[in-house]
């Protein structure tokens, strides 16, 4: 493999001049520049990326850490991040923690050792940044709110409003015995959605009914069974998210329940699967693509020394489909 010194020798310039031509870090005499570019073209020289990273102290690399790669919500979000990052000249490294706090911490520290320019973090643990040794790398927290000294900004949807409109829609659809799948209370999205649900219950003098549920398909199966056992008269289920709603639908059908005739069902997120299933799922839509693109924009702007908004809250929208009346 040809080296930068060999390129310099063939072009009749110094290795430093070759480096300046390649990196655009300083003005180079036009004749020398043309000689270097001609040699690079003829030899097919490729710079050592690791060496360039160490020299420039930047890998033009963004790390994205998600709790569970199996959830389509995170796949759709990562796609939007990658599209925006690519347009801005940054590469992406995707890490999935599988809801393992130690793996999440290790991923953050690994990205620091890789000279990643920043991290976009989707986490199910509010205190993850407090528990991580490396506090130097800038972090944008996506779909959550986390307060920490190296957090640049947070990108969220209005989860509280989403919780409210879920409950209001169930009431408007004629449900009398509504049960909420309360999302994880150790993360802001779960807390805010549940608070929205609770406030509507209190305003309408309705007894709160809920079971705890994580944001994954398997737990949705278990919690729906729990709902049918604990609240046999249930006629409306507000799921923790779309994945839990999809699993709830399967359990309801297994028990001979018709949706929406016997039990109405609403999700949260508006992932692609929510409109691919039959019947199509009523859900509260987060603008997933816009949120992912915004996270990349904010992080890269910060990396490049620009001022960025610390809080970025997107509106949510009820998407009325076939699982509610």
- For the chain, the residue count is 325
Tens digit of pLDDT for each residue in 194-208? 999 999 999 999 999
| Distance between CA atoms of residues 226 and 247, nearest Å | 13
pLDDT at position 146 over 80? no
Spacing of C-alpha 155 from chain mean position: 9
Interval 18-43: pLDDT, tens: 878 876 656 889 999 999 999 988 88
- Lookup: tokens for 45: 């020289």
Long-range contacts, stretch 250-253, CB < 8 angstroms, 24+ apart: 250/221, 251/221, 251/224, 251/225, 252/224, 252/228
Tell me what the mean pLDDT of segment 63-80 comes to: 92
- CA nearest to 62, candidates 99, 129, 115: 115
Please tell me the least confidently modeled range out of 104-108, 132-136, 194-198, 271-275.
132-136
Instruction: Give the CA distances from residue 253 to residues 170, 259, 264, 272, in Å, rounded to whole numbers and listed in that order.
Output: 20, 8, 12, 21
The tens digit of pLDDT for each residue in 238-271 reads 999 999 999 999 999 999 999 999 999 999 999 9
Q: Go through the domains of the chain in sequence order and give each one's CATH number.
A: 4-47 (1.10.260.40), 61-158+288-316 (3.40.50.2300), 159-286 (3.40.50.2300)
Residue 161, pLDDT > 50, answer yes
Burial of 149 (0-12, 13-18, 19+ CB in 10 A): exposed
Q: Would you state the structure tokens that stand for residue 205, as one six-digit string?
A: 């003098």
Q: Which residues pair with 155 in a beta bridge?
A: 142, 312
Whether the per-residue pLDDT at 54 is higher than 80: the answer is: no
Query: Residue 149 has what pLDDT?
Result: 62
């Amino acid at each position: 493999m040809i080296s930068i010194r060999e390129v310099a020798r063939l072009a009749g310039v110094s290795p430093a001049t070759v480096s300046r031509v390649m990196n655009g870090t300083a003005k180079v005499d036009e004749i020398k520049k043309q000689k270097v570019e001609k040699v690079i073209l003829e030899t097919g020289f490729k710079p050592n990326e690791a060496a360039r990273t160490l020299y420039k102290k930047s890998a033009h690399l963004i790390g994205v850490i998600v709790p569970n790669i199996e959830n389509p919500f995170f796949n759709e979000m990562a796609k939007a991040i990658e599209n925006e990052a690519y347009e801005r000249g940054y590469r992406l490294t995707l890490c999935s923690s599988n809801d393992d706090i130690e793996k999440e911490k290790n991923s953050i520290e690994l990205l620091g050792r890789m000279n990643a320019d920043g991290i976009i973090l989707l986490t199910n643990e509010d205190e993850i940044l407090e528990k991580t040794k490396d506090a130097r790398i800038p972090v944008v927290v996506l779909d959550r709110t986390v307060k920490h000294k190296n957090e640049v900004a947070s990108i969220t949807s209005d989860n509280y409003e989403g919780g409210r409109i879920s409950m209001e829609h169930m009431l408007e659809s004629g449900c009398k015995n509504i049960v909420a799948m309360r999302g994880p209370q150790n993360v802001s999205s779960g807390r805010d959605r549940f608070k929205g649900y609770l406030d509507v219950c209190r305003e309408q003098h309705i007894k709160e009914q809920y079971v705890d549920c994580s944001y994954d398909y398997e737990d949705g199966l278990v919690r729906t069974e729990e709902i049918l056992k604990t609240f046999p008269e249930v006629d409306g289920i507000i799921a923790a998210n779309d994945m839990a709603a999809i699993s709830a639908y399967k359990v309801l059908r297994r028990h001979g329940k018709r949706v929406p005739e016997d039990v109405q069902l609403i999700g949260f997120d508006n992932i692609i699967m929510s409109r691919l299933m039959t019947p199509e799922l009523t859900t509260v839509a987060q603008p997933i693509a816009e949120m992912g693109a915004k996270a990349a924009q904010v992080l890269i702007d910060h990396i490049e020394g620009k001022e960025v908004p610390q809080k970025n809250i997107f509106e949510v929208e009820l998407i009325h489909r076939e699982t509610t009346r």
